[in-house]
Amino acid sequence: MELTKTLGRRMLGAACAAAIAAPLAVATPAIAQSYPSADETLDWTIAFGPGGGNDIMARSIIEILNKYDLYDGEISAENRAGGSGAVGWGYLYGQDGNAYGISTTSGSFVTTPLQADTPWQPESFTPVALLATDDLVLVVNGDSEIDTIDEFIANAKANPTNIGGTGSVNVDFIVPTLFAEKAGFEFDYVSFNSMSEQTTALLSNALDAMVGNPGEILGLIESGDLKPLVFSGQTTPAALEGVPTMGSIGFDIGVSMPRGLILAPNAPAEAQEWWINTMKEVVQTPEWGEYISSNTLTPTVLYGEDFRQFLVNTKNGFEVVLREVGAID
């Protein structure tokens, strides 16, 4: 668990940086004449731990691929967490030219290279599709005496406060930082490798609050274990009815998290085209619609080079924000 002062030290640990500084050497099987080959195992990297938004999205796509027989071969999904996603995406980066290396993206895919010495940038990979964007909800323990966001802000102005999130300098960090700046309070940011870790910390009162994707913690909100205070998106989803948006109380931050699909760098054009066409089928399934709805996502679809340009534009925008708050030099 890494504790980071909001306006102070925000660097990944040296051990983590060393682990991600160079891509791993992995085999890169040549693409078969007809892609995909049933003889090749699809190596699906999930760059965060089980139960988080990235994990949920990846496994939802895999379930759809299997249910509709869209992928003729074995799919091996593995969580490779660490370094705010840098370990997992560094692993994929090391598979240059591999048609069978794939991963899902999140906000950390854009922000991690801005503050860590990664050998890759978001545009380094072969883009398949932007599939959705999502926003965060700020929650406290269900037993907390704080019931409203106004009470939370007042308490944070009067007392030392910490807020947890998944990853270091990423969207989970950017959202509360911008909100705190606009609302006029300071806090300590506590980073975790997985949603399950930070939820445990909040429920055990080791945290004052945390941010998370509504879909990841909706069950705990509905059970009363967690209490939602404010939503970072423009419109409150039905599942969070009654929860104000940051904009509605005068603190709009204008930040959303891109969720998409990428292949290894320089993957064969045949593989990229196959995945683009396949994802066009995936997003039309009722199961995908249910995933979007149950995880309170906004369907936002871009393919191929349009997705790459979206990543570049988002990275540039995030860089401006992080420099303004002093998170990166």
Domains (range + CATH), the chain: 13-20+39-133+257-324 (3.40.190.150), 137-249 (3.40.190.10)
| 3-class state of residue 323 by DSSP | helix
* pLDDT for residue 33: 57
Instruction: Provide the token pair at 222.
Output: 């509905």
- pLDDT recorded at residue 215: 82
User: What is the spatial distance between Cα 286 and Cα 118, in angstroms, rounded to a whole number?
Assistant: 38
pLDDT at 317: 81
| Measured distance CA(182)–CA(187) in Å, rounded | 13
Measured between alpha carbons, how far is residue 153 from residues 54, 208, 236, 296, 303 in Å? 29, 12, 20, 25, 40
Q: Would you say 290 and 159 are in contact if contact means Cβ atoms under 8 Å apart?
A: no
Q: Which residues contact 20 (CB under 8 A, 6 or more apart)?
A: 82, 83, 86, 87, 90, 116, 117, 118
Whether the CB-CB separation of 139 and 165 falls below 8 Å is answered with: no
pLDDT confidence of residue 54: 92
Q: What is the torsion angle, in degrees rounded to the nearest 10, for the CA atoms of residue 165, residue 169, residue 174 and residue 178?
A: 110
Distance CA 309, CA 155 (A): 41
Note whether 257 and 134 are within 8 A (CB).
Answer: yes
Give dist(CA 137, CA 19) in Å, integer.
Answer: 31
Are 120 and 113 within 8 A, CB to CB? yes
Residues near 126 by Cβ (< 8 Å), separated by ≥ 6? 262, 263, 264, 265, 266, 267, 271, 272
- Alpha helices (runs of H) in 189-300, residue ranges in sequence order: 195-203, 214-223, 269-282, 286-294
CA distance 112 to 169: 7
Token code pair at residue 269: 């054009």
Residues of the chain with pLDDT under 50: 1-32
| Separation between Cα atoms, residue 329 and residue 325, nearest integer Å | 10
Closest listed residue to residue 230, CA positions, set 238, 218, 242, 219: 242
Q: Are 117 and 21 in contact (CB under 8 A)?
A: yes
End-to-end CA distance of the chain: 23
Contacts of 117 (CB under 8 A, 6+ apart): 17, 20, 21
Cα–Cα distance measured from residue 164 to residue 97, given in angstroms and rounded to the nearest whole number: 37
**Per-residue model confidence (pLDDT) at position 11:** 35
Which pLDDT value is given to residue 23? 44
